[in-house]
Amino acid sequence: MDISTQSQVHGLNTSTMAARKKDAEAKENLWSSILSEVQTQSNTKLPSNKSVLVLGDNASGKTTLIAKLQGVEDPKKGSGLEYAYIDVRDEYRDDLTRLGVWILDGDPGHNNLLKYALNETNYAHTLVILTLSMTTPWSWVNQLQHWMKILDDRVAALKIDPEEKQQCQARLSTEWQNYCETIDDLDPGSPIKRTNRLSSVDDELDALPLPEGVLTTNLGLDVVVVVTKTDYMTTLEKDLDYRDEHFDFMQQWIRRFCLMYGASLFYTSVKEDKNCDLLYKYLTHRIYGLPFRTPALVVEKDAVLIPAGWDNMKKISILYENMQSCKPDDYYNDIIAQPPSRKTVSNREIEIQTEDEQAFLARQQQLLQQGQTPTRGESPLRSQPGSNGKSAQRTPVAAGAQGSPKKVDGKLAPGTQSGEGVLANFFNSLLHKKSVSPGSAAAAAAAGGVAGSPLATSSPRSLNGVTVADPVSASDKISMRTDAALELDRLARSVKKDLDYSAAQSDC
């Protein structure tokens, strides 16, 4: 092989090796491009570490609102710190993730549970929803100040890197400054094209300053103020005579409050399904950057929607034109005052008030003095003697009857006393018997009766300085003895009968 042939073979080998090397480099570039594409796609997937913290007083509609965003028809009320999740789907990239939701109970005793929902780990990935109810607009000031203080204290207590907190605060400021540009970019039909984002320090210096009153308190957290139950506005107009200027005053006040914290504002009604779907889309826009093309809505008073970055004091001042009887700087609760408390529960049982003890006793004493003493219950042994000497059943006394119990005649002559009356007179005569001198006693006996007999007493008179009884007629003496004997005999039989009955019961 000559020298020329060898040079040709060597050239062929060199070109072949160069081609192979080029192919290897192309394959390496292909794999690199595939790996970079996969990495890019993995970075564009929806993150799974995002969460929403819902704060608000009890009965402000927190659970019902979240259930509506979840698509749940029958919400279940919990206690303490509830956890739920909302399914979020990116239709453009066909991606699905879950947005965690923490709902803190409105009871102040559960505020210590906030540390589990907002901590150093999820601070930069948390959005806060503050709920207010249209049913109690007079309590908005206290509620917002209360929950914002709790949130501010919690953020201050977090042990996070100051640089991380500054980045979160700067992000909020930048989103306010670039709000219009972001909306234009998401709307392909807009004639205004979005300029490049701020990417250098020089560009940041050229950024416009924040409007007046915006983000004066920057917590580094996205905040959305949600006014629930706006369908109650008709009730406020009907029952409390609310007019449009009242609702304008409420709206301008809460919009100014939202400016201070860089918050968004939504008026919602789950009952009438107002702004609930828009709230869901806005949350996914703020948290995941998904499209949101709906502009601010301020025409309908019960369906207000104000995204963060759109509002300013000049736009708020438009509401001042309709406020005739109040001024924007008036104290809120002077215009929106709490109405007098009313009983709202109609089926509640009426509470029975007991009468004062002393008043009751005084009334009873008055009745007694008037002779309206109710009759006392009768004992089974208190029965009137019948004609045959046996106990007769006592006639019951009618309710409200006055005086002594009704008398049941045996065979007593008209005008004679009952057995109890005779017996009472008999023993009274024994008690009132007075000792007399033998002369006076003999005189009394000679006058018509047995000397010393207790029945020979009548009205007292004085004899020789000694009080003696007047003589009693013979017929009265016989009648009194007969009645006393009959009564004693009746009592003896009644006692014997009771003893026999008790013995028979014991034998059984």
State which residues form the domain around 68: 51-184+211-335
Split at pLDDT 50, 70, 90, the class of 205 is: very low
Q: Would 31 be classed as within a structural domain? A: no
The pLDDT confidence band at residue 487, using thresholds 50, 70 and 90, is confident
Distance CA 391, CA 54 (A): 84
Residue 168 contacts by C-beta under 8 Å, 6 or more apart in sequence?
123, 124, 220, 221
**Which phi and psi (to 5°) does residue 100 adopt?**
-70, 145
> Helix %, strand %, coil % for the chain, to 5?
45, 10, 40
**Number of domains within the chain:** 1
Per-residue confidence (pLDDT) for residue 489, from 0 to 100: 77
**Helices H / strands E in the chain, number of each:** 16, 11
pTM, 2 dp = 0.59
The reply to whether 375 falls in a domain is no
Does 36 map to a domain?
no
Rounded to whole angstroms, the Cα distance separating 82 from 244 reads 37
CATH of the domain at 94: 3.40.50.300
With respect to residue 245, please indicate whether it lies within any of the assigned structural domains: yes
Lowest mean pLDDT among 204-218, 370-384, 433-447, 491-505: 433-447
Assess if residue 252 is contained within a domain.
Answer: yes
Residue 30 lies in a domain: no
- The residue that leads in pLDDT, 425 or 197, is 425
Is 45 a member of any domain? no
Comparing 70 with 74, which gets the higher pLDDT?
70
Say if residues 312 and 212 touch (Cβ distance below 8 Å).
Answer: yes
Residue 461 within a domain: no
CA separation for the pair 450, 478 (Å, rounded):
12
Q: How many residues does the chain have?
A: 508
Chain segment 246-273, per-residue pLDDT in tens: 999 999 999 999 999 999 999 999 999 9
For 333-355, write each residue's pLDDT tens digit: 999 999 987 655 555 566 777 88
